[in-house]
Amino acid sequence: MEPRASEGALALALAWARFQPRTQALAGVLGGRVAFVPGPPRPLPLRYVACALETWRLLRSERPEQVLVVTPPVLAPLVAWLWCRRHQAALVVDCHTDAFHAARWRWARPLHRFLLRRARAALVHTEEAEELVRTWGAPGLLVPDDVPDVTQAGVAAASERPVVLVAGSLDGNEPVAETVAAAAMAPELEFRLTGDVERVPEPVREAAPANAVFTGFLPYERFLGEMLAARAVAVFSTDPHIMNRAAFEAAGMGRPLVLSDLPGLRARFGQEVLYAANRPAEMAAAVRRAVAAEQELAARSRELAARLRRQRAVALDRLQAMLAHPPARVLRITQHSFPGMPVVRRDVVELVERGYEVDLICLRLQEHEGDPPVHPRLHVHRVPIRHRRRLIRYPLEYALFFAWALALASWLGLRHRYAVVQVDNLPDHLVWAALVPRWRGARCVLTLYELTPEMVAARVAGRLRRPMLALAGAVERLATGWADRVVVVSRCCFEALRERGVPAERMSIVVNSYPMPVPPRRRPPGSPLLITHGTLVRRYGIDRAIQALGLLAPAQPDLRLTVMGDGEQRPALEALAQELGLEDRVEFTGWLPWAEGLARVRQATLCLVPVLGDGYGRFLLPTKLLEAVQLGVPVVCSRVPAIEVYFPEGVSYARAGDARDLADRIHELLSDPERARRQAERASEMVAELTWERVRERYLEALGLAVPEPVLGTAAS
């Protein structure tokens, strides 16, 4: 591999065209220069050969650190990739919508996919293209066109009539004949059509009325000057995937704007412009309305220009971050299932959205989880152990999973060089499965979802209790001391570990919140419905919820309880419901798909979080509580320190483990719906600081990764 010269240019932007203002603007953003390579007027194959040779000559001469190249034609990024691969330069490909949707470039899709996956960034014009590029595993980024200002405009030609500039190139994707017919219907206006007149069929040119003027291609300053002088600008297209640059330019000039009525254009430009179907009568009517409402629509265009500039600024910041921080590779080791564990799913999706390559070692797919997310940068390695919540099985499961994970992580660690390895407990000793990747330089981050000594104290009794506590404490000390960083899920856990000697500067708090889907409209049921959800184990106090229902049953004959989830305590809970005569009023759903479960929580009257104060419960900040609060559902929960720290108000507190007090708090909210509504609103305000949108940067900082904004749109989920 030939080394890149240190004195090379920072960036070079290339387009196989006579001129492209977008490319020129992007060159300025990258701090480099632009080069247009139109090629000689020869047959197409020979012209492409000449362009390829000239591109290679330019790259050898400039030796840039970053190369931005426009596609199509696909040969342009192919040549640039070959040069970048040889000289270790960053490749950025700016993709016109034709690259994905034009019939003449359909053959090049596999080549585009190959090239974009190897680019540092793949710039696109539309959300549709961004989603397509993301499914290819390429680092897609929607970058809107630049919005010029009036200082860039030149002088327009004079006219005796009000001018409507029809901005385009007169290619096959423009309804030129319909535009000419629309001009004939509005003889009081002069329609100036920009673009290559030779592309217009001769019958259309001959049929054009006197007020339809073909200007030919205009120099860019003159083109903007014509826009600035026009009473309105029309940009028409038949391509449903188009994102017309001329619309951005018209907004920048502050002129009334008329666009073809296409979904993508409506989504981008909103209500600030007028839309017309590509039919002459509707086109003429829309243009007339634009001229009549010139002042109002000009003001809207100026507002649109400001919004588009903000969107572009955000996108360019993301581009700069992508170029400054090349994506790294991350290894995640967790004895949880995927995608069933929401927090693991949250982290993995966040990393692949940020452009990181992720290897995940986890438990085998559980029956209730459905299809896992699929993404080209996500590589899932499942350990074929079926989890059973039985105390006697835990040591065996921990030992088998550790051995398997150690072998897998060692093999992967020899194949890849990781930036960071994140290991989840339980068990704490799983952190040593990262031995080989850490030896090869990876940062090791241990995430403690549970504090093992407190969990052992709460669950183990008898003669085994003391030696198991001592063992759990020793393993925790060694594990937290060996890891480079320790992540905990609440302030209470943070303080407990600090008291045990873990330095505060080596810890981070990342609460168990995650992105919430858009919920269905909240419609509380006709009869009151309580809901509690999660793993059915003793410390979550589901038996107290059933007992509270029994206490309320005589006065609330329609009150019901839904218990979502599964676990080792389910048989005992079902027996308790039957013993209290509540089997017809307590529904056990088992595990439900995450989105379906959230939808059911959203429709409940109240959510119950009756965790026990058993010495471990004081550390719990349950995800079920955060979910309910974000969904706007009033919550009754146990008064435990970890929850009180984050919610000094906004929830109704009952004494932990006290079914009577829990029943009283439920009765208070059911009797006063307005109070319940105000409580839910207050809780929603308080949870704002705990949402994933606020927490995500703390997560990436804990991993020691660069913190660019997401670059791939919506992740697989």
633-682 tens-digit pLDDT: 999 999 988 888 889 889 999 999 999 999 999 999 999 999 999 999 99
- Can you read off the two tokens belonging to residue 717? 């989920």
Q: Could you tell me which CATH class the domain 11-142 is placed in?
A: alpha beta
Give the model's pLDDT for residue 276.
94
Fold of 329-509: Rossmann fold (3.40.50)
| Beta carbons within 10 angstroms of residue 54's beta carbon | 18
Residue type, 214: F
Residue type, 522: R
Answer whether 643's CB lies under 8 Å from 687's CB: no
Q: How far is CA 661 from CA 222, 457, 554, 610, in A?
A: 78, 26, 16, 11
- Reduced to 3 states, what is the DSSP secondary structure of residue 546? helix
Fold of 150-312: Rossmann fold (3.40.50)
Block residue for tokens 């634009």: 290
CATH code assigned to 529-690: 3.40.50.2000
Give the model's pLDDT for residue 171.
87
- Reduced to 3 states, what is the DSSP secondary structure of residue 631? coil
Give the model's pLDDT for residue 712.
40
State which residues of the chain have pLDDT below 70. 1-9, 366-373, 387-393, 517-525, 615, 617, 706-717
- How many CA atoms are closer than 13 Å to the CA of 146, on its beta-carbon side? 14
Tell me the chain's radius of gyration from C-alpha atoms: 32
In terms of Cβ atoms closer than 10 Å to its own Cβ (0-12, 13-18, 19+), residue 111 is: middle
Q: How many whole angstroms from its chain centre is CA 474?
A: 40
The span from the CA of 12 to the CA of 23, in Å, is 10
The span from the CA of 145 to the CA of 155, in Å, is 23
The span from the CA of 114 to the CA of 370, in Å, is 30
Domain ranges within the chain, ordered by starting residue: 11-142, 150-312, 329-509, 529-690
Bond preceding residue 426 cis, omega within 30 of 0: yes
Q: Residue 13: CB partners within 8 Å, gap ≥ 6?
A: 23, 24, 26, 27, 30, 32, 33, 34, 35, 68, 69
What does the angle CA 368 – CA 373 – CA 379 come to, to the nearest 5 degrees? Answer: 115
Domains 11-142 and 529-690 share a fold: yes
Q: Which helix (H) or strand (E) holds 66?
A: strand 66-71
The span from the CA of 493 to the CA of 502, in Å, is 11
Q: Which helix (H) or strand (E) holds 310?
A: helix 294-324
Answer whether 422's CB lies under 8 Å from 343's CB: no
The span from the CA of 89 to the CA of 579, in Å, is 72
- Which residues make beta-bridge pairs with 447? 424, 487
